[in-house]
Chain A
Amino acid sequence: MLLRFCMKLPLVATRLIIVAFKLMVAAIVVLSILPLLTGGIGLDLEGEDDGEMTLEDSTIRVQMPITVRNDGFFDINDLQVSFIFMDENGTLLAESEGEQMDIPAGEETEVSIELALDLLDLDQQVRSDLIFNGTEMMFDAKISAKYTLDMVQLSVEAGGDMGWGPFINDLQVDEWNAQATAEGDDRFVSVPFSLRADEVFNGLQTMTVTEYRDENGYTSNVSQSVHLSQQVNEMAKIPLSQEAYDRLLNGTANATVRTTLYVLDCSTYDEGYLNLGGGGGGDPIWNLQLQMGSSNLQGMGGSYFVSIPFSFQTDPAYQGQLADAFVEYSDSHGFHTNVNQMVNLQENGWAEVQIWLSPEAYDTVYNGNEMVHVKVTMTYEHWTGISEQDYSEPWGVSP
């Protein structure tokens, strides 16, 4: 019997080796899958505040720490997180390739994802869009790692569009609030202008040039340095000649004023029609302008509103009368509403309408970076004036 067993011993040994192999592979598979099912391995994004975006010279840096937990039975090796940003045409804009790192079993490690985007590397048009209008950029994120004694390699790629910017928006020349001043022999027109800048651009020094031009071909301008902050209100004090000053005051200047903002070799401008003296050339109302910079969202006990202010100037002959203001509001998701309001005509008139929003429309502008279209139509007797604007709202949204 023993001899027979010894004869068959190699067969028994081979069978045992095969069984051991099967058990080993089964154990490896089970021990690999188990922590994934029980949540032992995972990524934890740090608190929202920790995802920091800063501007250094012309480079935007994004830092995002991610904690990788490995409560599994095997080490995670060669973990690498990389990001690629591209413009709409697929041109590479920024690339971040994290260092490969090992996370031993039972430990957790913080992986810092760093992304640097030098704005000066971008095409000027792309840069300008990014700074002033906001743009969609395509990104590709890739996470790769080895697990199960390096026998399993996982690679996850995720791509998508990501809205960036605008970092500076709502540049507005408040020409309705312009004032002509005389200081000794010098004559000036002071035109206020305002803009908003994203927190990332806080403190960045930029240049504005405000240019005055009347219908007689007279031009004058003033340059000034502006330090960006979330709300910038500045006054451009443009020197004028006596003649130009007189024309402006007696209402024959038909002047325009344009403020151009220069940031990182890109520019944007806003202009307005100046008429300080003689009214709107016979019109009862002129200089009708939406003041979206002062608009705001309100949520009151389940009801949602957006306040939309607008300004205008009234000929003294019509001051104290009532005009009809019809304000229309629409968003890109098909929400459309309007409101009608009577407005008291004043010399430097300012009115505000409240527009009811549906919860979805409120959510769209509060949580999403959406473009809305606003139009105000003022009617007084036979006179009609229109001001409309596409507005990428910053209400509760960070770019």
Chain B
Amino acid sequence: MNIGEFDRKHFSPVNGGITATVHALKYLAIPYILFTVGLMALAGLDGPQRVADLLREMQTLVLIFGIVLTALGFFKGAYPKGSYSRFLFGITASVLVIVYVFSLLLDGRTEEVIAREAFELDLYQIFVLFFFPALLAVLMQFGEFADHRRPFLEKEGTIAVKEREDPKDRRFYHDFRLRYGSLYNGLKLARSTLIGFVIIPLIIVILMKAGFSSLNVEEVDSMMSNLDDISAYMVMLGVPMAALAFFKGFYPKGSLSRSIPAVIMVLITLYWIWVIGLGGKFIFDSIEEISLELDFSKLLLLIMVGTALWIVYYVLELLLYRPEWKDAGFPKDLPEERKARKEAQRKAKEERKAAKEKAKEEKRAAKEEKKEAAEQPKPEAKKEE
């Protein structure tokens, strides 16, 4: 490891402060406030003591982990992307988040208290679900490091600036070259897709099943089996979608390699909506001699039409961003580089404008000079007469 990257010259307290504030809000302030509100509500309602004790223990954990994560966030944010220093603090923080959440289970006591006060809920199952996106968050630190390492070193002057790619002999399938991709962006989008399409729906299913089981009513058995089927579909459709989301995020805007997975994702999303919407028909016939049929397929189709508009969006995105990407020499889609490109474009534009203005001025001056010269009498000629 290059110790020099921990040097003060790379350190930006302002950037560190921003990241620390975000971490403090996320891991310290919001959970702490939530637990405090919970405790106040319990006190007001004369709630069970064991829940209050549990919340107090959790508050302590939030304080400990929240402060450590805020500190780690400060150091992570203070160092530039692509540096070992940022990578080290970043990866430590993301691993610590997993430990933080696991410690909130309090060795099974949280689950016990919920079981006593409400219904039996498998919190470890929910933790396993949480673990996958948390793991992707760890990998995102690797991705960020890999993506920004070269620009960081280029900026440091350690390596030569990469030359722009010549678009002459380029074919459309070259869009799939790995060097155009951003690991961080891919992992980030894969993670959010996994959360939205698999983790959250599965947690909702777990909560619903736990709630239904606590009712101890035979009538909900068929509904529970429907929920199992839906869970299976969520995994079967959500995991490929997360994989496609990786490629969509990985490749830059304007590339075919981004548009194709994006369009496939939209198509799978349409099917996902159809499945989670039970094909537009909800039939409840668990209660003897009563059946309820709700046909909302038209409403579902309306939702699907709205979602299908994303296909139009991604086609337009390909067409509109492609020239820009090509002009920039097929770079990675990194925020810093995008910012630098925009700045360069702005400067070039300003320079062009200034040159244009200057040329205009010169032209006008020349014209006026000519005019003045034409208006003045020619004394030499008179003399000659």
Which residues of chain A have a CB within 8 Å of any CB of chain B? 1, 7-8, 10-11, 14-15, 17-18, 21-22, 24-25, 28-29, 148, 150-160
Contact = CB atoms under 8 A, between A and B. Distances in A.
Contacts of B310: 18
Contacts of B302: 21, 25, 28, 151
B309 A157 contact: no
B294 A152 contact: yes
A14 B309 contact: yes
Contact of B306 (A18, A151, A153): A18
B176 interface: no
Contact of A11 (B291, B295, B299, B316): B316
A145 to B, nearest CB: 11
A193 B292 CA distance: 51
B316 A151 contact: no
A24 B312 CA distance: 19
Contacts of A25: 299, 302-303, 306
A160 B303 contact: no
Contacts of A11: 313, 316-317, 320
7 closest Cβ contacts across the A-B interface? A21-B306, A151-B298, A153-B295, A151-B299, A14-B313, A155-B293, A159-B289
Contacts of A24: 306
Contact of B309 (A17, A156, A160): A17
A18 B266 CA distance: 13
27 contacts: A7-B320, A8-B320, A10-B316, A11-B317, A11-B320, A15-B313, A18-B306, A18-B307, A21-B305, A21-B306, A25-B303, A25-B306, A148-B299, A151-B299, A152-B295, A152-B299, A153-B295, A153-B296, A154-B292, A154-B293, A154-B294, A155-B294, A156-B290, A156-B292, A156-B293, A158-B289, A160-B289
Given A151-B296, A159-B290, 12 more contacts: A11-B316, A11-B320, A14-B313, A28-B299, A148-B299, A150-B298, A152-B296, A152-B299, A153-B295, A155-B295, A156-B292, A156-B293
Contacts of B306: 18, 21-22, 24-25
A263 to B, nearest CB: 32
A354 B31 CA distance: 71
A154 B335 CA distance: 50
A10 B320 contact: yes
A285 to B, nearest CB: 51
B315 to A, nearest CB: 9
B299 A14 contact: no
A156 B299 contact: no
B215 to A, nearest CB: 20
A82 to B, nearest CB: 14
Nearest to B285: A157
Contacts of A156: 290-293
Contact of A18 (B294, B299, B313, B320): B313
A377 to B, nearest CB: 42
B295 A29 contact: no
B270 to A, nearest CB: 13
Interface string B85-112: 0000000000000000000000000000
Interface in B186-243: none
B70 to A, nearest CB: 34
B313 A157 contact: no
Contacts of A153: 294-296
Contacts of B296: 148, 151-153
